[in-house]
C-alpha cells in the first residue's frame, strides 16, 4: 500500500491538524513522523495561545487534551543585571472555557493531537525519514521517497509540515537558505517542582497557570529573550537567542540560560527544582519576510516549515498558527480532490485562506516587529533605563520626591538620549507594535 490521496510529512501540530481535517472528509491520508512518536523530538514545555483555533477543530478539546495549566496570569519583565520591573496582568476570565491560553508538554500534546488524526482515519507511520520528493516527467510533485524498504509513497498532494529547516520546502524551490540573522536558537529546561509548592510560590490555584517573558540584560549583548511557564508539577524555563548575534558575541546559548537562572529575580523562583529535560530547537524569527511561497504543483507548506512563528516582544506564539495553517492545508486538499486539480493555480487558494484568516493578517501587521525587537536599544538600553528609573523612583534619600516624568526625563538625560533619538525610537516602536 503506497498510494494515498494526501501525504503529510511531520506529525507536529500543523501536520496532525492537516491530516485530521483531510481524513475526516474521507481522504486516504498518511502522516509521516521521523521520531519514535509525535512530539518525541520536540522541545517539551510550551504555551499555546488563541485556543479557539483548537476548539474549532476539536470542540471541547480540554476534556481530553493533556493540558498542563490554563494561563490566567501573564507577566512581561524588563531586566537589568541585578533588577527587574514587571508588568503583571491577571484575570479570572482567562480561566473560563474555551480558555485564552494554556501550557503543555509537547511530547504529550503532539501525541494526543496525532491520535485525533488517527481516529479520524489517517494512517500514522513513525520513525520514518523523508529523503526527497518524487516528481513526474513534467517536474510535478507526485510523492515522497522515505528511508524505508519500498519507501516510495505516492499522492497527488504532499503537505510539508517538517519543521523550521524544511528540507522539502527548500527542495521544492519554495524556501531560500536561511541567514543567521533570520533564525534563533531556543534552549529550554523542564524543572520538576512539587505541585503544592509551585502553586504557593506563583499564587496559583487549581488549574491556573502563569507565563512570564523577560527582556533585557539576561541575554547580555546577544539579541534575544527568556521565558518561564508553569506546568502542573514543573516549570518550563528557556532562552531564545539570535544565531548571528550569538556568533558575533562569541556566546553559547546554554551559558546565557545559566546566567538567566542566577538572576536575582529568577533564582528564588527555581528553588527546590531539579532538571528533568534539557533540549534545543531552531526558531524562525524573521517574521513576514521569512514566509516562503506556500504552494506549488502538488505541494503545500504549513507550520514552522512556512516560517509561522510570531515573535514581537509582546507575543511569542507559534502552535496556534501551526494548527490554523495545517487545518487550512487540509481544507485545500479536500477542495483540490473534489475537482482533481492539484495545480499551483488551484492550490493558491491555501494562501488566500491564510490571508483571510488571522494568520497572515498578524504577520503583515507586525512585519516590522522582528527588526525592532532585536535592536540593541530595545534589547539592552531601555530595559536598563527602566530598571534604573524604578530604582530612583522607589528610593528614599531624605530629599523631596520627584514626579514620575521628572524621573523619566532625568534618566534620559543621564543616558544622553536626545529628544530626537527618543522620538525616533518611539516612532519605530509604534510602527512595529502600536499601529
Spell out the residues 6+ positions from residue 153 whose beta carbon is closer than 8 angstroms to its own: 2, 3, 4, 7, 30, 32, 143, 144, 145, 146
Same-domain status, 276 and 221: yes
Structure confidence by residue, pLDDT tens digits, 213-242: 998 887 878 888 899 999 999 999 999 888
Residue 212 lies in a domain: yes
- Strand order across the 295-296 sheet: 123-125, 29-32, 6-9, 158-160, 299-301, 295-296
Residue in 78, 79, 61 with CA at minimum distance from that of residue 70: 61
Question: What is the arithmetic mean of pLDDT over 123-149?
Answer: 94
Instruction: Report residue 322: phi and psi, to 5°.
Output: -65, -45
Given 338, 366, 394, the domain boundary residue is: 366
Question: Among 250, 284, 318, which residue terminates a domain?
Answer: 284
Does residue 90 belong to any structural domain of this protein?
A: no
Quick one: cell of 93? Answer: 476570565
Tell which phi-psi region holds residue 422, choosing left (phi > 0), alpha (psi between -120 and 50) or beta: alpha
C-alpha to C-alpha distance for 343 and 205, rounded to whole angstroms: 53
Q: Give the residue-averaged pLDDT of 298-326.
A: 87
Is there a single domain that holds both residue 18 and residue 125?
Answer: yes
Q: Tell me, what's the pLDDT at 435?
A: 63
Which residues contact residue 385 at a Cβ distance below 8 angstroms, ignoring those fewer than 6 apart? 411, 412, 415, 417
- What are the CA-CA distances from residue 33 to residues 36, 134, 157, 163, 233 (Å)? 8, 18, 17, 11, 29
Residue 336's closest CA among 325, 348, 326, 354?
Answer: 348
- Of 55-64, 131-140, 172-181, where does mean pLDDT reach its minimum? 172-181
Q: What's the rounded mean pLDDT across residues 91-107?
A: 85
Give the span between the Cα atoms of 255 and 275, in whole angstroms: 16
Same domain for 168 and 315, yes or no, is yes
Task: Give the residue ranges of DSSP H helices in 104-166.
Answer: 106-119
Q: Report the CATH number that the domain containing residue 129 is assigned in CATH.
A: 3.50.50.60
Return the CATH number at 217: 3.30.9.90
The answer as to whether 53 is a domain residue is yes
Question: Is it the case that residue 402 has pLDDT exceeding 80?
Answer: no
Number of compact structural domains in the chain: 3
* Nearest-angstrom CA–CA distance, 93 and 230: 18
Please indicate, yes or no, whether residues 132 and 25 belong to a single structural domain of this protein: yes
Answer yes or no: is 54 within a domain.
yes
Say what the alpha-carbon torsion angle 289, 293, 299, 304 is, to the nearest 10 degrees: 0
**The three cell numbers locating residue 380:** 539592552
Report the C-alpha gap between 399 and 407 in whole angstroms. 14
Helix H, strand E, coil C: the string for 13-32 is: HHHHHHHHHHHHCCCCEEEE
Based on the fold, state whether residues 37 and 109 are members of the same structural domain: yes
User: Are 262 and 165 found together in one domain?
Assistant: no
What is the chain's alpha carbon radius of gyration, rounded to the nearest angstrom?
23
Helix and strand counts by DSSP (H, E) for the chain: 16, 20
Q: Are 216 and 80 in contact (CB under 8 A)?
A: yes
Domain boundary among 331, 366, 401: 366
Per-residue pLDDT at 286: 67
Between the CA of residue 98 and those of 71, 205, 257, 394, what are the distances in Å? 12, 18, 34, 40
Residue 356, all three cell numbers: 483571510
Mark whether 144 and 108 lie in a shared domain: yes
- Whole-Å CA distances, 82 to 216, 263, 265, 375: 11, 7, 8, 21
pLDDT mean across residues, the chain: 89
Neighbours of 95 (CB within 10 A): 18
| Residue 141 sits in the same domain as residue 253 | no
Asked if residue 78 is part of any domain, the answer here is: no
Do 14 and 133 lie in one domain? The reply is yes
The proportion of the chain whose per-residue pLDDT surpasses 70, expressed as a percent, equals 96
Residues 224, 249, single domain; the answer is yes
Q: What is the pLDDT of residue 198?
A: 97
Residues spanned by the domain of 168? 6-68+99-176+287-366
- Whether residues 151 and 250 share a domain: the answer is no
Give the confidence band of 384 by pLDDT, cuts at 50, 70, 90: confident
- pLDDT: which is higher, 399 or 261: 261
Does 77 fall in a domain?
no
CA 383 from chain center: how many Å? 23
* Residue 87 falls inside a structural domain: no
- Which pLDDT belongs to residue 43? 63
Q: According to the model, what pLDDT value does residue 432 have? A: 67
Q: Where are the beta strands (DSSP E) in 347-429?
A: none
**CA 94 to each of CA 50, 71, 208, 209, 230: distance values in angstroms, whole numbers, following the listed order:** 11, 7, 9, 10, 15
Least confident of 272-281, 303-312, 379-388: 379-388
Q: What is the mean pLDDT of residues 23-51?
A: 88
Position 69 pLDDT exceeds 90: yes
DSSP string, 163-209: -TT-HHHHHTT-SPPPPGGGEEEEEEEEEE--HHHHHHHHT--TTEE
Instruction: Establish if 85 belongs to a structural domain.
Output: no
pLDDT at 244: 87
- The answer to whether residue 312 scores a pLDDT higher than 70 is no
**SS3 at position 231:** coil
In terms of DSSP H, where are the helices of 312-357?
Answer: 319-339, 344-347, 349-356
What was the pLDDT predicted at 366?
85
pTM of the model: 0.91
> Are 353 and 400 in the same domain?
no
Contact 43, 185 (CB under 8 A): no
pLDDT of 242? 86
Residue 406 pLDDT > 90, yes or no?
A: no
Confidence band of 434 (pLDDT split at 50, 70, 90): low
Amino acid at each position: 500500500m503506497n498510494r494515498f490521496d494526501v501525504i503529510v510529512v511531520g506529525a507536529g501540530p500543523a501536520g496532525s491538524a492537516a491530516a485530521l481535517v483531510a481524513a475526516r472528509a474521507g481522504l486516504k491520508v498518511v502522516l509521516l513522523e521521523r521520531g519514535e512518536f509525535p512530539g518525541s523530538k520536540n522541545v517539551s514545555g510550551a504555551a499555546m495561545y488563541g485556543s479557539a483555533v483548537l476548539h474549532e477543530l476539536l470542540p471541547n478539546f480540554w476534556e481530553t487534551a493533556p493540558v498542563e495549566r490554563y494561563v490566567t496570569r501573564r507577566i512581561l519583565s524588563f531586566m537589568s543585571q541585578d533588577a527587574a520591573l514587571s508588568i503583571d496582568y491577571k484575570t479570572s476570565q482567562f480561566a473560563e472555557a474555551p480558555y485564552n491560553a494554556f501550557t503543555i508538554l509537547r511530547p504529550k500534546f503532539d501525541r494526543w493531537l496525532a491520535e485525533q488524526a488517527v481516529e479520524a482515519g489517517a494512517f500514522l507511520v513513525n520513525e520514518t525519514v523523508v529523503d526527497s520528493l518524487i516528481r513526474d516527467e513534467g517536474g510535478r510533485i507526485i510523492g515522497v521517497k522515505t528511508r524505508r524498504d519500498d519507501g516510495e509513497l505516492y499522492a497527488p498532494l504532499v503537505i510539508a509540515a517538517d519543521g523550521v529547516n524544511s528540507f522539502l520546502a527548500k527542495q521544492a524551490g519554495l524556501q531560500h537558505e536561511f541567514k543567521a540573522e533570520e533564525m534563533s536558537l531556543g534552549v529550554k529546561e523542564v524543572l520538576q517542582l512539587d505541585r503544592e509548592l509551585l502553586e504557593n510560590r506563583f499564587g496559583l490555584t487549581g488549574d491556573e497557570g502563569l507565563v512570564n517573558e523577560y527582556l533585557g540584560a539576561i541575554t547580555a549583548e546577544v539579541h534575544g529573550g527568556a521565558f518561564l511557564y508553569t506546568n502542573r508539577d514543573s516549570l518550563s524555563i528557556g532562552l531564545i537567542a539570535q544565531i548571528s548575534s550569538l556568533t558575533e558575541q562569541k556566546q553559547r546559548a546554554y551559558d546565557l540560560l545559566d546566567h538567566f537562572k542566577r538572576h536575582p529575580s529568577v533564582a528564588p523562583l527555581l528553588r527546590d527544582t531539579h532538571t528533568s529535560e534539557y533540549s534545543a530547537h531552531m526558531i524562525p524569527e524573521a517574521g513576514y519576510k521569512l514566509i516562503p511561497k506556500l504552494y506549488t504543483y502538488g505541494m503545500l507548506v504549513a507550520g514552522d516549515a512556512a516560517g509561522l512563528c510570531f515573535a514581537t516582544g509582546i507575543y511569542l506564539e507559534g502552535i496556534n498558527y501551526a494548527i490554523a495553517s495545517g487545518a487550512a492545508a487540509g481544507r485545500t486538499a479536500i477542495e483540490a480532490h473534489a475537482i482533481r486539480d492539484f495545480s499551483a493555480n488551484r492550490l493558491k487558494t491555501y494562501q488566500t485562506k491564510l490571508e483571510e484568516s488571522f494568520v497572515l493578517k498578524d504577520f503583515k501587521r507586525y512585519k516590522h516587529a522582528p527588526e525592532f525587537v532585536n535592536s540593541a536599544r530595545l534589547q539592552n538600553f531601555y530595559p536598563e533605563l527602566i530598571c534604573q528609573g524604578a530604582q530612583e523612583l522607589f528610593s528614599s534619600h531624605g530629599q523631596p520626591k520627584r514626579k514620575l516624568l521628572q524621573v523619566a526625563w532625568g534618566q534620559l538625560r543621564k543616558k544622553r538620549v536626545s529628544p530626537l533619538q527618543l522620538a525616533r525610537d518611539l516612532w519605530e516602536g509604534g510602527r512595529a507594535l502600536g499601529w
